[in-house]
Amino acid sequence: MRENIEEFLVEKGLLITALSSIIIILLIIFFVLSQGAQSIQSVGFFNMLFGMVWNPDANQYGILPMVVGSLGITALALLFAVPLSLLCSIFMAEVAPNRVRRLLKPVIETLAGIPSVVYGFFGLVVLVPIMRVHFGGSGFSMLTASFILTVMIMPTIISISEDSLRTVPHEYKEASLALGATHWQTIRNVVFPAAIPGVITAIILGMGRAIGETLAVIMVAGNVAQFPSSILDPVRTLTANIAIEMGYATGIHYSALFATAIILFLIIMILLVVANYFHYKKKVVIGGGYL
């Protein structure tokens, strides 16, 4: 009888926790939508989304340059981080001796726990001057911000990808080696394809952190609300725009910042839906035995 009561309480407690999480998310979405509705009605959703000029003093609230800045920095960060992270995770899961793995694992986990302001300060003091000397300009640019985000998202991608590689059944490797494949051929043709769903999940989480990062990007991106002509131009991201101007915004300007958050939310949702589609598609194919 006592065990049944405990099981009932645990079950209902977990249910309440799950429902509370959903309710909190819905309340946040409702609050953001209600605050941003005024500017969307006044300016127009598509006028705001495709507008080229952000100038609250002139009642201009175009955020396309910031959309491009956010997506550009995120794409560059993923371009740099994904290959390096996958190579590192393969090394740790399949090649590195246990002694080396035990050394690398806590180091990578420590990198994941470093506050973003520390990364931003490092970029401001070290990376920006290097970029200024070797590439010209002010040093504050899309490329500089992407380098910082690369370092920030690599621990997440490495840790999850390594776990995915290590969960591949050992029988897969034994069967491949028994058929005469080398260790590298086994990794490339058997282990890695089987771990791709987990790898895609790691990339999705890394992408989410990259596009949502604020403080480190503010410190090194330049924060100029203009359409970038190259990766060496300063840019402003959607999150940086909200953080910089929220402290003094009023009226339509205040509402436009919430509308910026709405558009950022929609962009993230679209990216997650696309990424999860490929994740599910690959998982089905692997489940069907097509390696």
Residue 212 sits in a domain whose CATH number is: 1.10.3720.10
Q: What is the mean pLDDT of the chain?
A: 86
12 belongs to a structural domain: no
CB 49 within 8 A of CB 193: no
Q: Rounded distance, CA 226 to CA 242, Å? A: 15
Arithmetic mean of pLDDT, 71-76: 93
Closest by CA to 33, choosing from 261, 273, 271, is: 261
Range of the domain at 127: 65-249
pLDDT digits (tens, 9 = 90+) for 24-55: 989 998 998 898 888 888 888 888 888 888 88
pLDDT digits (tens, 9 = 90+) for 259-269: 999 988 888 88
Distance of CA 126 to the CA centre of its chain: 24
286 belongs to a structural domain: no
Distance of CA 137 to the CA centre of its chain: 27
Query: What's the confidence (pLDDT) of residue 285?
Result: 52
89 belongs to a structural domain: yes
101 belongs to a structural domain: yes
For residue 168, give every residue at least 6 positions away whose Cβ sits within 8 Å of its Cβ, in sequence order, or none.
190, 191, 194, 195
6 belongs to a structural domain: no
43 belongs to a structural domain: no
Q: At what angle do helices 142-166 and 192-212 cross, to 10 degrees?
A: 140
pLDDT digits (tens, 9 = 90+) for 212-221: 888 899 999 9
Between these two residues, 3 and 260, which has the higher pLDDT value? 260
pLDDT digits (tens, 9 = 90+) for 88-120: 999 988 888 888 888 888 888 888 888 888 999
Arithmetic mean of pLDDT, 72-76: 93
237 belongs to a structural domain: yes
Q: Taking 80 as the threshold, does the pLDDT of residue 278 lie above it?
A: no
Question: How many domains does the structure of the chain reveal?
Answer: 1
Percentage, residues of the chain above pLDDT 90: 29
73 belongs to a structural domain: yes
- What is this structure's pTM? 0.85
